[in-house]
Amino acid sequence: QLNSTFYASTCPNVSSIVSGVIQQALQSDARIGASLLRLHFHDCFVDGCDGSILLDNSGSIQSEKDAAPNTNSTRGFDVVDNIKTALENSCPGVVSCADILAIAAEASVSLAGGPTWNVLLGRRDSTTANQAGANTSIPGPSESLSSITSKFSAVGLSTTDLVALSGAHTFGRAQCRTFSNRLYNFNGTGNPDPTLDTTYLATLQQTCPQNGSGTTVSDLDPTTADTFDNNYYSNLQNNKGLLQSDQELFSTTGASTISIVNSFSSNSSSFFQNFAQSMINMGNISPLTGSSGEIRSDCKKVNGS
Ligand code: HEM
Ligand SMILES: [Ca+2]
Ligand SMILES: [Ca+2]
């Protein structure tokens, strides 16, 4: 239903406009591409890729921004607004906020050295948000592999999609509070997570002392923090996955994800190809099309509100 030429006549420069705003933002914030990619993920997993994550509280809207996986965590909304403003200046009323997130995700990956792909377009914007859905549908960092696999399956994504898309943790940051359960008293054992490399553990304990601030950030990829490459997978092979959910892909006994990690670690182009396909798969999660939904003029608000 979506297609790659949706704006060919109505906003032919949409990709370069989006890319230009992101390049500008990257000048002062090396992390912003990662943050934008994550917004698309957190949008698509809740009622599909419909821009629902962008709506602020107001009237009947209970913002997804206040759901547990997003609060004090998701960022980049200001850049989305800058993109929207630039697009409204060139092609007023044409490009949806949901499509902005999909285009920004591809531009962010490609600007960080990752793959490029033809983004499918034509999504429209929701008039509702689903805060409860955001709390239940987005996987958490301490969840088991089987639970995370179920959440991917619930939106039609496979185990290969899970392993490929987790490779997004090749860039960006995570706060101490999202992995500190691994550092001192893992699952009540009184010891750190045994699947954490001891040198890396020591570094993380320095960054995240017991009773320190949970909001201090650490690079998700300790080797190439801002580059989109396949080092995420060799990190897992070296017990240097930052989140429990990352390391589980390689360290869960008998898991079918192990061989996929090994293959993406040994073959960067296979990872890039699979990542691009899995991003297309994720971007296809129940979009609003045709006359459903609307083209918001402000990504934070439903039209006329
Ligand atoms: C598989 C289950 C996943 C879990 C449990 C998970 C969890 C997390 C957590 C806890 C953080 C750190 C947030 C913070 O500290 O504020 C994070 C960051 C990030 N996630 Fe995931 N994630 C998952 C999958 C994905 C997917 C599928 C993508 C995109 C395709 C993605 C992209 C990112 C990026 C780029 C960051 C860094 C964001 C930034 O620096 O602002 N993640 N993730
Ligand atoms: Ca959504
Ligand atoms: Ca990297």
* Residue 52 CA to ligand 2 centre (angstroms): 4
Dihedral over Cα of 216, 100, 122, 272: its sign:
negative
pLDDT tens digit at each of 305 positions of the chain = 999 999 999 999 999 999 999 999 999 999 999 999 999 999 999 999 999 999 999 999 999 999 999 999 999 999 999 999 999 999 999 999 999 999 999 999 999 999 999 999 999 999 999 999 999 999 999 999 999 999 999 999 999 999 999 999 999 999 999 999 999 999 999 999 999 999 999 999 999 999 999 999 999 999 999 999 999 999 999 999 999 999 999 999 999 999 999 999 999 999 999 999 999 999 999 999 999 999 999 999 999 99
* Residue 114 CA to ligand 3 centre (angstroms): 9
8 A C-beta contact, residue 74 and residue 2: no
Q: What is the ipTM of this complex?
A: 1.00
Question: What is the pLDDT, as a whole number, of residue 190?
Answer: 98
* Residue 223 CA to ligand 2 centre (angstroms): 32
Distance (Å, whole) CA 299 – CA 290 = 19
Question: What is the pLDDT, as a whole number, of residue 34?
Answer: 99
If one counts every other C-beta atom within 10 angstroms of the C-beta of residue 143, the result is: 16
288 by DSSP, 3-state: which?
strand
Given the residues 31, 38, 40, 42, select the one marked as catalytic: 42
Ligand 1 neighbour 178 (Cβ under 6 A): yes
Whether residue 115 is annotated as binding a ligand: the answer is: no
Question: What is the pLDDT, as a whole number, of residue 226?
Answer: 99
Structural tokens at position 101: 């997130």
Q: Is residue 42 annotated as a catalytic residue, yes or no?
A: yes
Question: What is the pLDDT, as a whole number, of residue 291?
Answer: 98
Ligand 1 neighbour 274 (Cβ under 6 A): no
Residue nearest to atom 24 of ligand 1 (CA): 166
Distance (Å, whole) CA 194 – CA 57 = 42
Question: What is the pLDDT, as a whole number, of residue 148?
Answer: 99
Whether residue 88 is annotated as binding a ligand: the answer is: no
Question: What is the pLDDT, as a whole number, of residue 66?
Answer: 98
Most informative mutation of 41, 111, 135, 226 for ligand 1 (most atoms within 8 A of CB):
41
Ligand in closest contact with the CA of 176: 1
Whether residue 40 is annotated as binding a ligand: the answer is: no
Helix (H) or strand (E) holding 219: strand 217-219
pTM of the predicted model over 0.90: yes
- Ligand 1 atom nearest 171 alpha carbon: 35
| SS3 labels along 11-73 | CCCHHHHHHHHHHHHHHHCCCHHHHHHHHHHHHHCCCCCCCHHHCCCECCECCHHHCCCCCCC
Distance (Å, whole) CA 66 – CA 68 = 6
- Ligand 1 atom nearest 178 alpha carbon: 10
Distance (Å, whole) CA 17 – CA 30 = 19
- Helix 77-90 to helix 97-111 angle (10° resolution) is 110
